[in-house]
A and B are shown apart, each in its own frame.
Chain A
């Protein structure tokens, strides 16, 4: 009876390894766990799994067997939960197997092993912190983790209006929702166009935000500039006002009857305002694209401004004094001292800005409402990958929305994960 034998026996039937070692309480505990697992499996997991893919007489594979009786969506959620439960059971079995193996090893080496009571007492300090943090993990599981997984599954079904459960059964579509984006000529062209605009938008909006914020911070922090506090108070305003308000204000401002046309342009050109010659900034696709990038820069620069201002204040004066002794002037001071120090701190901001704008649904969706869909095109001119995910969702085309959301989430997730691994977030003892 080797340790390995005990381990694998407990892995299959928790408690059985302990039984061979004559540990009564663990054995009972393990067997009742097994009984519970079987009960859950028969009562919950199996019924859901069985309905997960039902072949209908017409050859279609649906979720659930009968309309109005089975709610396809609940079966989808139930199956996801069931799958996660199975994983949890395996984890329990593994814990039992490890413990049984450990007991066996102690007996082999010492001739005896610590008793169950001692073990529980040793574990008691584990219970309190886990109990305190449990509500948070339940919330996160129900409202963040589970929905994210189910949303991925939706991308492989035909869940869109009018196919709404429980009146209809959802159908498995495999990869066809994704294939459409590449094989259907019209959809593929639109997808490519959207992809190009998404990249342009993400890059331009992020770059402009960072450049504007940095330049303003450097200029405003010049020692000879007075009224720093005044400028800072104003520059922070776009951050303080909720973004949705300013976006609506700008949507109005750049419309044919908005302030841009009625006041600003007449002020510079000297021409009287006339509705018929006014420019509808969101009615023309190119103007709309430039305008939205400018608005995002307006909204986003205060964050960079404050960050860079903080960095500038930490640069010691000695550096500039030393430079002036060596004959440095303002330009060399800036390019050899200030800029490199700023760049170090701004580099990570570029990545947060990049992921933020890539995923920025609010501004793209809200201003997109003001744009006009050109005849013959599938999407509106301002649609990005992630905003499409949201707009299609609003139109109740859930499966298509899920495809775009999945693409967007994968890109963002990959970038974030990559930067974290590079920065050593997972290794850093301070973080952990």
Chain B
């Protein structure tokens, strides 16, 4: 009797424990999986941030945390020893001008395709769809030869002209898919709105600026962000078009790639500092407008 009395509670807790474990096995496994993935994501990023603040003379470091912590040292040598500042301004000027140009074109032409009915409308939309099929890198050879044939590289302001040339290419490439997206968004706004405004005596321009523009603002934000992030992340075109130019006229992508491949001129900590600084604006923009981007993605199926 006594034995059984003693045994019972123990057995109870044991089975309870096992039950708890069994019932939550899935949950524990899920958490483990999620956390491991989170570590895999964040580890290389944190490591880069850490080495941006690490000052060392050795080629490698074996500890995660900086051995010689310094807030400014790497950044100082980044600005003094490399042309980082001009890469930075080059890149962001390029992407901001591209963003403004293509957003204006996309917003206006999306409006035209959605609200005007004219004979060549269908063929215009069709040609946009077809031009998109051509991968963006396929024309690079001709673009480069065109640029050198019209004398861009031999002119006095070679850098400026090359950047204008690149801006126009990015703008052209950015307007195909985005125009179709924008048009789709305009289409989702009922035309009754325009009709009633027209009855009240509004001109087409007023309908566009005062009624439709405020309504399509979310999509404008999405497109502006895509057009802003595109040139920043691109290495293919600048690598090819400005390969032969001086260090001052590089973009961030080309410059940083040079830093990592020419280990003689700098060390990895300086590269890390440059990478961290370069990542800040796009990451901030991305997180600030996260909901817009996700919304735009699900509405249009854009490739990120």
Asked if B40 contacts A245 (CB within 8 A), the reply is: no
Residues of A within 8 A of B126 (CB): 426, 432
Asked if B135 contacts A409 (CB within 8 A), the reply is: yes
Residues of B within 8 A of A177 (CB): none
Asked if B173 contacts A303 (CB within 8 A), the reply is: no
Asked if B275 contacts A361 (CB within 8 A), the reply is: no
Residues of A within 8 A of B236 (CB): 361-362, 365, 390
Asked if B38 contacts A405 (CB within 8 A), the reply is: no
Q: Does A204 contact B (CB under 8 A)?
A: no
Contact status of A393 and B187, CB under 8 A, knowing A266-B62, A348-B301: no
Contact check: which of A132, A147, A409 meets B108 at CB < 8 Å? A132
Residues of A within 8 A of B234 (CB): 244, 362
A257 to chain B, nearest CB (A): 4
B60 to chain A, nearest CB (A): 4
Q: Does A330 contact B (CB under 8 A)?
A: yes
We find that the number of chain B residues with CB closer than 8 angstroms to chain A is: 98
Which listed segment binds B: A4-12, A51-59, A214-222, A376-384? A214-222
Residues of B within 8 A of A393 (CB): 140-141, 144, 240
Asked if B279 contacts A241 (CB within 8 A), the reply is: yes
Mark B90-109 against chain A: 1 for CB-CB distance below 8 A, else 0: 00000000000000010011
Tell me the B44-60 residues at the A interface (CB within 8 Å).
44-45, 47-48, 59-60
B164 to chain A, nearest CB (A): 12
Tell me the A100-158 residues at the B interface (CB within 8 Å).
125-126, 128-130, 132-133, 135-137, 139-140, 142-151, 154
Asked if A148 contacts B138 (CB within 8 A), the reply is: yes
Per the bound structure, the CA–CA distance linking A258 and B135 in Å amounts to 34
Which listed segment binds A: B11-19, B76-84, B215-223, B290-298? B290-298
Q: How many A-B residue contacts, CB cutoff 8 Å?
A: 266
Residues of B within 8 A of A74 (CB): 149
Q: Does B145 contact A (CB under 8 A)?
A: yes
Asked if B124 contacts A143 (CB within 8 A), the reply is: no
Residues of A within 8 A of B71 (CB): none
Asked if A73 contacts B149 (CB within 8 A), the reply is: yes
Q: Does B193 contact A (CB under 8 A)?
A: no
Which listed segment binds B: A19-27, A319-327, A394-402? A394-402
Q: Does A246 contact B (CB under 8 A)?
A: yes
Q: Does A206 contact B (CB under 8 A)?
A: no
Mark A364-389 against chain B: 1 for CB-CB distance below 8 A, else 0: 01100100000000000000001001
Mark B109-142 against chain A: 1 for CB-CB distance below 8 A, else 0: 1001100101111101111110111111111111
Q: Does B286 contact A (CB under 8 A)?
A: yes
Residues of B within 8 A of A238 (CB): 41
Per the bound structure, the CA–CA distance linking A76 and B293 in Å amounts to 42
Mark B256-280 against chain A: 1 for CB-CB distance below 8 A, else 0: 1100110000001001100100110
Q: Does A344 contact B (CB under 8 A)?
A: no
Tell me the A327-380 residues at the B interface (CB within 8 Å).
330, 348, 352, 356, 359, 361-362, 365-366, 369
- Max chain A CB contacts within 10 Å: which of B137, B236, B287? B137
Contact status of A154 and B27, CB under 8 A, knowing A253-B44, A262-B61: no
Residues of A within 8 A of B137 (CB): 359, 361, 386, 389-390, 405
Contact status of A136 and B175, CB under 8 A, knowing A242-B278, A352-B303, A366-B235: yes
Tell me the B134-160 residues at the A interface (CB within 8 Å).
134-146, 149
Asked if A352 contacts B301 (CB within 8 A), the reply is: yes
Asked if A151 contacts B142 (CB within 8 A), the reply is: yes
Q: Does B212 contact A (CB under 8 A)?
A: no
Asked if A253 contacts B47 (CB within 8 A), the reply is: yes
Asked if B139 contacts A330 (CB within 8 A), the reply is: no
Per the bound structure, the CA–CA distance linking A137 and B123 in Å amounts to 12
Contact status of A144 and B260, CB under 8 A, knowing A74-B149, A249-B48, A432-B125: no
Asked if B149 contacts A77 (CB within 8 A), the reply is: yes
Per the bound structure, the CA–CA distance linking A165 and B105 in Å amounts to 35
Asked if B34 contacts A143 (CB within 8 A), the reply is: no
Q: Does A1 contact B (CB under 8 A)?
A: no
Q: Does A237 contact B (CB under 8 A)?
A: yes
Closest to A152 in B: B138
Which listed segment binds B: A29-37, A38-46, A194-202, A411-419? A411-419
Q: Which 5 A-B pairs have the closest CB atoms?
A: A147-B139, A150-B142, A257-B60, A147-B142, A240-B286
A sample of 15 more A-B contacts (CB under 8 A), given A147-B140, A150-B145, A239-B286, is: A77-B142, A140-B128, A143-B169, A150-B139, A233-B287, A234-B42, A240-B283, A245-B256, A249-B48, A303-B304, A352-B301, A390-B236, A393-B140, A405-B138, A431-B184
By a beta-carbon cutoff of 8 Å, the part of chain B in contact with chain A is: 26-27, 30-31, 33-34, 37-38, 40-45, 47-48, 59-64, 105, 108-109, 112-113, 116, 118-122, 124-129, 131-146, 149, 168-169, 171-173, 175-176, 179-180, 184, 187, 229, 232-236, 239-240, 243, 253, 256-257, 260-261, 268, 271-272, 275, 278-279, 282-283, 286-287, 290, 294, 297-298, 301, 303-304
A selection of 18 A-B contacts at a CB cut-off of 8 Å is A74-B149, A126-B120, A129-B118, A130-B120, A139-B105, A140-B131, A150-B146, A219-B30, A234-B41, A240-B286, A242-B282, A245-B256, A257-B60, A352-B301, A390-B137, A393-B144, A401-B141, A416-B132
By a beta-carbon cutoff of 8 Å, the part of chain A in contact with chain B is: 71, 73-74, 77, 125-126, 128-130, 132-133, 135-137, 139-140, 142-151, 154, 159, 165, 216, 219-220, 222, 224-225, 231, 233-246, 248-253, 257-259, 261-263, 266, 273, 275, 298, 302-303, 306-307, 310, 330, 348, 352, 356, 359, 361-362, 365-366, 369, 386, 389-390, 393-394, 398, 401-402, 405-406, 408-409, 412-413, 416-417, 420, 425-426, 430-432
